[in-house]
Amino acid sequence: MNILAELRSRFEPVLTEWTDNPSSVIDMLKASQDPKFGDYQANFAMPLAARIPDLKPRDLAAQIVEKVDLSDFCEPLEIAGPGFINIKLKQDWLQEQTMQLVQDERLGVVAVEAPQKVVVDFSAPNVAKPMHVGHLRSTVIGDANYRVLKFLGHDVVGDNHIGDWGTQFGMIIFGYKHFLNEAAFQEEPVFELARLYRLVNQLSDYHASKNSLPQKEQEIEQLTEKLQTLEGSADQTDKKVQKQLKKLKAELETKQKALSSLQESLSQLEANEDLKSKATAFPDIARLAREETAKLHAGDAENNDLWKQFLPQCLDLIQGVYDRLDIHFDMTLGESFYQPMLADVVADLKQKGLATESQGAICVFMKGKEAPFIVQKQDGAFTYATTDLATIKYRAEELNADRILYVVDSRQSEHFELLFSTVKDWGYTDLELQHVSFGSVLGEDGRPIKTRAGDSVGLDSLLNEAIQRAYNIVSEIDDDKHDGPELSKEERKQIAEVVGLGGIKYADLKHNRESDYRFDWDKMLAKQGDTATYMQYAYARVNGIFRKGGIDREELRTHQQSLNLIEPTEIALAMKINRYSEILESVAAEARPNYLTNYLYELADLFSTFYDVCPVLKADDETVRTSRLLLSDLTARVVQNGLSLLGIRTCERM
């Protein structure tokens, strides 16, 4: 049962006496921060009273308390401070409720009454290049949302909207035509294609950087001049001047640093004879690659054949990463799938008067938005925007979607604002559209994470490193065991896989998704603290209790009547367990898996405190022992279930 939802539904009708719109304040009923204010606390008396003349919030709170009847499961309500309403659950009710969970496979999480058809658009890499750490967030956050929604009973479709039609294909096609290593391609086509992509990318970056040199040098020259003039003419004892000088110097220094690192990478490439000669042979490689893409899009037979040949190979490469991460999609339609529909989309928008011509391009202009949404470029090409419009039409009409979540980088916020606004005008008014936006993964130095060679870090090597580091942690935990190590090398390896991958996912999920976060191996895998390792360990620890006591858990669960909550830590733990369903619903409503990580962390912590204070196997009395075993069992089940909804596995021992 969702206790929070139940409480809100009891208060909501009562509040109509003071407001027409109780749902606007009902969120102010929340779990309380501190048990001394009860289990839940309602703070809506203050804002409501503020709108009514001569009504003190405390008096209003008293009137509300008078009207709402919670006597079946709560203690008499208390009013505190300026008008808070403190709500405490009846202990025998909580106990009974907890007892019901013992036999409930779903741990109190009732499936929603009105399931929605939800499309989760996630991962969506551009597949012509190997996956890198930048793809991690969408994949992991999307997968967690997918799992939670599904568990809640929604009809969920995971769609990997891959970029399989973009400019990168032109790059591999160009590479294939000019730089192919035939033998390598025969042997391992996927790697050869990845190499070709990197090569063409590197060469076109080289020219872009080289071409930007004169401008960069000029900027530095101008800055230097400005600085010299200021130093020569202005009064250097003046505070303002000093400040200005300092600012200019800092700016100059940053620019000089950037320039020298650019020069260094250019000369590195030039030191490589082979690369240098390729760069010299194709000074306008970027344009040439773009032309290959244009030919592909225009239906050129040779390029289309190559594309058909390359696509499955590119997909194979990314599939390897998905397999390792245990990520699954219901469909992988991708951008190419929608190409035949794009002309109709534009025609329809024009016909409805939504799209108009502007400087040769076809655009949708929106009120209050400066940027137009370009659906067809001057040269006739359709855009990312057009594809997304066609995708929505397909999802609404063919998949019957009620809601679509786009788990995409925050840098695409503007695109989604324009997209959603266009779609409403286009007539899909009931469709719930949400950009589940997220920040970047930063390296330990606080900059976007890169390898030493300056490439983005490949996901495969990242996962390998995680597992390798986890192996050391797992060994450490095992070596430190009171009665000596108990795991074989093989077992340690298996556990390391679970801990390493879990650690990577958890570290990503635990942050408020909008913030950037720093990738930090030590923090990520730490045994203590807000990490998957800590929770996986808590889970294994409970299993250890049962193993040690030789207790059959299935059999234990039939002892339903023996739950007996006495100690405050037991009550707090039971309370937390009962909140599981409310947490999952909040994750689903806002697409925020960090609510779940946070909950699990608090749960594991409460368990730890309980376990320190309350002897379980050594409890004095049989009923207390059974009760505590039941509570431990429930905790472990919630931890396991919660982690599994985050896509994180657990091990029986650790």
Ligand X SMILES: NC(=[NH2+])NCCC[C@H](N)C(=O)O
Query: Would you call 534 helix, strand, or coil by DSSP?
Result: helix
Question: What is the closest distance, in whole angstroms, from the C-beta atom of residue 396 to ligand X in the complex?
Answer: 14
Q: Which of 94, 408, 574, 646 binds ligand X (CB under 6 A)?
A: 408
Q: Of 419 and 542, which has the nearer Cβ to ligand X?
A: 419
Question: What is the closest distance, in whole angstroms, from the C-beta atom of residue 639 to ligand X in the complex?
Answer: 32
Q: Do 448 and 442 meet the contact criterion of CB atoms below 8 Å apart?
A: yes
Helix (H) or strand (E) holding 153: none
Q: Do 375 and 383 meet the contact criterion of CB atoms below 8 Å apart?
A: yes
Question: What is the closest distance, in whole angstroms, from the C-beta atom of residue 391 to ligand X in the complex?
Answer: 6
| CA distance linking residue 468 with residue 462, whole number of Å | 10
Query: What is the CA angle 14-53-7, rounded to 5?
Result: 20
Q: Of 107 and 124, which has the nearer Cβ to ligand X?
A: 124
Q: Which of 406, 420, 534, 607 binds ligand X (CB under 6 A)?
A: 406
Q: Of 70 and 124, which has the nearer Cβ to ligand X?
A: 124
Strands 84-87 and 78-80 come out as antiparallel
Question: What is the closest distance, in whole angstroms, from the C-beta atom of residue 438 to ligand X in the complex?
Answer: 12
The number of C-alpha atoms within 13 Å of 525 and in the hemisphere containing its C-beta is 23
User: Hey, what are 584's tokens?
Assistant: 């999952």
| CA distance linking residue 258 with residue 263, whole number of Å | 9
Question: What is the closest distance, in whole angstroms, from the C-beta atom of residue 356 to ligand X in the complex?
Answer: 24
Q: Do 303 and 230 meet the contact criterion of CB atoms below 8 Å apart?
A: no
Question: What is the closest distance, in whole angstroms, from the C-beta atom of residue 123 to ligand X in the complex?
Answer: 9
Q: Do 295 and 307 meet the contact criterion of CB atoms below 8 Å apart?
A: no
Strands (E), 484-574: 517-518
Question: What is the closest distance, in whole angstroms, from the C-beta atom of residue 162 to ligand X in the complex?
Answer: 7
| CA distance linking residue 345 with residue 1, whole number of Å | 45
| Residue 201: φ, ψ to 5° | -60, -45
| Residue 379: φ, ψ to 5° | -80, 10
Task: List the interface residues with ligand X, window 101-160 (CB under 6 A).
Answer: 121, 124-126
Q: Of 408 and 651, which has the nearer Cβ to ligand X?
A: 408
Q: Which residue has the tokens 């699954």?
A: 328
Maximal CA-CA distance, the chain: 90
Question: What is the closest distance, in whole angstroms, from the C-beta atom of residue 63 to ligand X in the complex?
Answer: 50
Nearest to 498 by CA among 466, 524, 460: 466
Q: Of 190 and 433, which has the nearer Cβ to ligand X?
A: 433
User: Hey, what are 24's tokens?
Assistant: 């606007």
Question: What is the closest distance, in whole angstroms, from the C-beta atom of residue 451 to ligand X in the complex?
Answer: 20
User: Hey, what are 91's tokens?
Assistant: 């202990």
Helix (H) or strand (E) holding 183: helix 182-187
Q: Of 128 and 639, which has the nearer Cβ to ligand X?
A: 128
Nearest to 460 by CA among 230, 229, 131, 161: 131
| CA distance linking residue 524 with residue 470, whole number of Å | 10
Question: What is the closest distance, in whole angstroms, from the C-beta atom of residue 387 to ligand X in the complex?
Answer: 8
Query: Would you call 254 helix, strand, or coil by DSSP?
Result: helix
What is each CA distance from 636 to 96, 340, 371, 447, in whole angstroms? 19, 51, 51, 38
Q: Of 98 and 126, which has the nearer Cβ to ligand X?
A: 126
Question: What is the closest distance, in whole angstroms, from the C-beta atom of residue 409 to ligand X in the complex?
Answer: 7
Strands 441-442 and 517-518 come out as parallel
Q: Of 163 and 500, which has the nearer Cβ to ligand X?
A: 163
| CA distance linking residue 73 with residue 38, whole number of Å | 13
User: Hey, what are 257's tokens?
Assistant: 């640093």
| CA distance linking residue 559 with residue 128, whole number of Å | 57
- How many of the chain's residues bind ligand X (CB under 6 A)? 10
Question: What is the closest distance, in whole angstroms, from the C-beta atom of residue 565 to ligand X in the complex?
Answer: 48
Query: Would you call 250 helix, strand, or coil by DSSP?
Result: helix
Question: What is the closest distance, in whole angstroms, from the C-beta atom of residue 649 to ligand X in the complex?
Answer: 27
Q: Of 406 and 428, which has the nearer Cβ to ligand X?
A: 406
| CA distance linking residue 607 with residue 542, whole number of Å | 10
Q: Of 162 and 565, which has the nearer Cβ to ligand X?
A: 162
Question: What is the closest distance, in whole angstroms, from the C-beta atom of residue 138 to ligand X in the complex?
Answer: 8
Q: Which residues pair with 363 in a beta bridge?
A: 356, 374
Q: Of 441 and 577, which has the nearer Cβ to ligand X?
A: 441
| CA distance linking residue 277 with residue 52, whole number of Å | 79
* DSSP calls for 313-374: HHHHHHHHHHHHHT---SB--HHHHTGGGHHHHHHHHHHTT-EEEETTEEEE--TT-SS-EE
Q: Which of 137, 161, 469, 513 binds ligand X (CB under 6 A)?
A: 161
Q: Of 18 and 337, which has the nearer Cβ to ligand X?
A: 337
Q: Is the dihedral of CA 631, 634, 636, 639 positive or negative?
A: negative
Task: List the interface residues with ligand X, window 341-400 (CB under 6 A).
Answer: 388, 391
Question: What is the closest distance, in whole angstroms, from the C-beta atom of residue 202 to ligand X in the complex?
Answer: 20
Q: Of 88 and 132, which has the nearer Cβ to ligand X?
A: 132
Q: Could you list the residues that contact ligand X (CB under 6 A)?
A: 121, 124-126, 161, 163, 388, 391, 406, 408
